[in-house]
Structure 1
Amino acid sequence: MAPMGIRLSPFGVAVFCLLAIGILYHIYAGVISSRLAAFSQRKSINLRELLAVSVEAAVLGGKQVIKVREENGLKEKSKGETKEGAKELLTMGDLLSHRKMFNLIRNTFPEITVNSEEHDNVVDGSILWSRDIPADILKKIEGRKEVPADSITVWIDPLDATQEYTETLVKYVTTMVCVAVGGKPVIGVIHQPFTGFTAWALVDQGSNMTPRSSYSVSPPKVIVSRSHSGKVKDFIHDAFGNSTTIIQAGGAGYKVLSLLQMPPSEKEPIDQADVYIHITFIKKWDICAGAALLSAHGGRMTTLKGEDIDYSGTPLNKGGLVASVGIDHQAILEKLPNWDPDKQ
């Protein structure tokens, strides 16, 4: 007699199929979900659009800075002191500018990391990008360049030169946005709220700025911080001689603009310097936008030892900085005396 086979009822077949599907789900669900997560993290961001949003954010923040200053509603308070003993101030201008700039960028590109000098829990989903790309950006920047969202770090300074802002020295005040890709600054925006001028650059693609036609290096005019001068004068005289001109100014953004050619239409002239030097700690949101602007024109911003600055990770740059464009950056570095900002 032939062996008898096992016959399943339609109900049994259905149960068997469900069990098989369940087993396959548990086996592959983890793989599928991890691949979907990886795919979402690899979302690409268009750099021309990100540049346009950065410009719009800097201008939007600048309007808040002006409004608070004109209404005399600063309400300044101290956030503490720097390592050198200078007060770090927070005003309503800083805070309201931060809210506009931070929310605009995050609402437009929620996938990217945004670091701001100020911290605030106010979330405003109504602050949206206008979808406008300025004509000069459309003309100079090609629209096909995209990078993975998870490679981007954005640094915002909602109000650079807060001390000078409280003293009504508004020519030093800027709002800044920088985009770093893989730790390297590629987009820099420096906006001057009280003149309305906005400097921008996308490295290797274009900018609305240019270097000046000539620079002096024997000795150079060196621009430094008026609020963190400390021992910098002796440091610079040791490097370039006692006849070196030292310009004291507020705001890292302003100091970078002093190295470049400002448009002749600008009614408010700014200082012209050949080198920007800072010998103590400084935050990355202060310097990243300037680094991108200089890099777009063949310039450099390094530590005092000539090291490139990584614009990812923690916000503190401990190595000081030297910034230049249109001159031999290495020759400047070689004249600097040995100096360790961490031991000062």
Structure 2
Amino acid sequence: MNLGASVRVNKCGVGVVLSAMVLLMMLYRYGGGDEVKRDAFSDMVSLKSLLSAAIDAAERGGRIVYDVREKANLNEQSKGKTRENANDPVTDGDLMSHITMFFSLQRAFPAVKVISEEHSLKPSDPSTIEPADILNPEVGAAVSENAFVPAKDIRVWIDPLDATQEYTEDLREYVTTMVCVAVKGYATIGVIHKPFMHLTAWGWAGKTVSPNLKVSSKKAGDDDVTRVIISRSHTGQVAALATAAFGDKTNITLAGGAGFKTLEVISGRADLYLHTTLIKKWDLCAGNAILNALDGKMTTLEGKIIDYGNELELKNEGGLLASLYDHSKYFGLLQEARKKEG
């Protein structure tokens, strides 16, 4: 027995062992399957995992929004005036929700670009924010087939608190937190969470929607009545345009929050959501994605699909028409009315 003999190390063998150890660590961390594939190829993102993370982020933000509203002081400030001369407020609920939602998504998917309404705010130590959960059992049960997309093709739009004005007025039913995943500019995955109603609705275009989402099987109004939901704080000339387009029997409902209004259309309590002035894309993307998953439609008033692919283009200047059914009919009537107005 030669105790002094040297030991030769096979570098190839060591490499194989190390690779196996890394794979085992990933299996332990993520439970295998799609999530392992996502991390093994960091430039590719599992949309199933990203949907789970979006749900977690929206609900975590919603819990903050709820807790802040329960306090006596929202620490309300103003970001200025809108084009319609309405106050544009911001509260601790907006800012604290942003921190949790934005950085939980960024930590879970560092290669993905995330765009938030309150984009300038950062925590002193982002590592204190837990990464968003990428394993949601409901998503796992509802979505049988995954999809993998290059990170460079994805933009995630978040609204940490939609309907801030209504939030300050304690009109809680209008308030939502929202996350949207756009792939090559197309609104693909949308999550709308109602923190005070304890409801989370989501949709994945080409796949499915959340089991709890109430979807109308037919349009809400009678044949001669069109139910239109519009913004209570940014009405502009929209009510007059709706009446001119759809007739004197048009039923106009004022409401807060783009997320709330889109869900009203989906549920059948409104036929369409109409907006004629500027609106930010983080207000629209999640509802747009859910409509896409239901074969509904959201366009500008010129009939153009809204592009969410450029994080530098935050504004939708072209107005808005959203409907679950009969979009072409409503669009045609609006075009006729706008032509007559000159």
Specify the TM-score bucket, using the shorter chain as the normaliser: 0.7 to 0.9
Partner of 1:31: none
Matched, 1:213 2:212: no
Partner of 2:181: 179
* Residues 46 and 147, structure 1, Cα contact 8 Å, conserved in 2: yes
What is the CA–CA distance in structure 1 between the aligned matches of 2:278 and 2:338, rounded to whole Å?
12
Unpaired segments ≥5 residues, structure 2:
1-39
Q: Deviations over 1:159-181 (max 9, x none)?
A: 00000000000000000000000
> Aligned pair in 2 of structure 1 residues 41, 116: CA closer, same or farther (>3 Å)?
farther
User: Deviation at 1:233?
Assistant: 1.1
Q: Deviations over 1:271-316 (max 9, x none)?
A: 8111000000100000000000001000000000111010122110
* Residues 224 and 255, structure 1, Cα contact 8 Å, conserved in 2: yes
Partner of 1:309: 306
1:265-284 → structure 2 map (5 Å cutoff): 272-284=269-281
What is the CA–CA distance in structure 2 between the aligned matches of 1:339 and 1:110, rounded to whole Å?
45
Bigger radius of gyration, 1 or 2? 1
* Residues 223 and 277, structure 1, Cα contact 8 Å, conserved in 2: yes
1:308-327 → structure 2 map (5 Å cutoff): 308-313=305-310, 314-325=313-324, 327=325
* Residues 54 and 132, structure 2, Cα contact 8 Å, conserved in 1: no
Partner of 1:290: 287
* Residues 41 and 149, structure 1, Cα contact 8 Å, conserved in 2: no
Q: Which amino acid aligns with 1:150?
A: K
Among the aligned pairs, what percent are the same residue? 44
User: Deviation at 1:71?
Assistant: 1.1
* Residues 210 and 297, structure 1, Cα contact 8 Å, conserved in 2: no
Which aligned runs of 4 or more in structure 1 are off by greater than 3 angstroms? Answer: 129-132, 337-340
Q: Which amino acid aligns with 1:328?
A: D
Partner of 1:231: 237
> Aligned pair in 2 of structure 1 residues 130, 315: CA closer, same or farther (>3 Å)?
closer
Partner of 2:150: 148
Partner of 2:259: 253
Q: Deviations over 1:240-291 (max 9, x none)?
A: 0121000000000000110123xxxxxxxxx811100000010000000000
Partner of 1:331: 329
What is the CA–CA distance in structure 2 between the aligned matches of 1:319 and 1:132, rounded to whole Å?
35
Partner of 2:122: 121
Aligned residue for 1:224, secondary structure, equals: strand
What is the CA–CA distance in structure 2 between the aligned matches of 1:41 and 1:111, rounded to whole Å?
11
* Residues 99 and 121, structure 2, Cα contact 8 Å, conserved in 1: yes
* Residues 46 and 145, structure 1, Cα contact 8 Å, conserved in 2: yes
What CA RMSD, in Å, does the superposition of the two structures yield over aligned residues? 1.8
What is the CA–CA distance in structure 2 between the aligned matches of 1:243 and 1:287, rounded to whole Å?
28
Judge which range, 143-152 or 331-340, deviates more: 331-340
What is the CA–CA distance in structure 1 between the aligned matches of 2:286 and 2:276, rounded to whole Å?
19
Unpaired segments ≥5 residues, structure 1:
1-39, 262-270
TM-score by length of 2: 0.82
* Residues 89 and 163, structure 1, Cα contact 8 Å, conserved in 2: yes
Aligned residue for 1:227, secondary structure, equals: coil
Q: Deviations over 1:198-217 (max 9, x none)?
A: 00111111111353022135
What is the CA–CA distance in structure 2 between the aligned matches of 1:248 and 1:93, rounded to whole Å?
24
> Aligned pair in 2 of structure 1 residues 168, 127: CA closer, same or farther (>3 Å)?
same
What is the CA–CA distance in structure 2 between the aligned matches of 1:120 and 1:43, rounded to whole Å?
27
Q: Which amino acid aligns with 1:214?
A: K
* Residues 158 and 176, structure 1, Cα contact 8 Å, conserved in 2: yes
User: Deviation at 1:42?
Assistant: 7.5
User: Deviation at 1:237?
Assistant: 0.6
User: Deviation at 1:334?
Assistant: 0.4
User: Deviation at 1:136?
Assistant: 2.2
Judge which range, 118-127 or 72-81, deviates more: 118-127
Partner of 1:12: none
User: Deviation at 1:129?
Assistant: 3.3
User: Deviation at 1:226?
Assistant: 0.3
TM-score by length of 1: 0.81
Partner of 1:74: 74
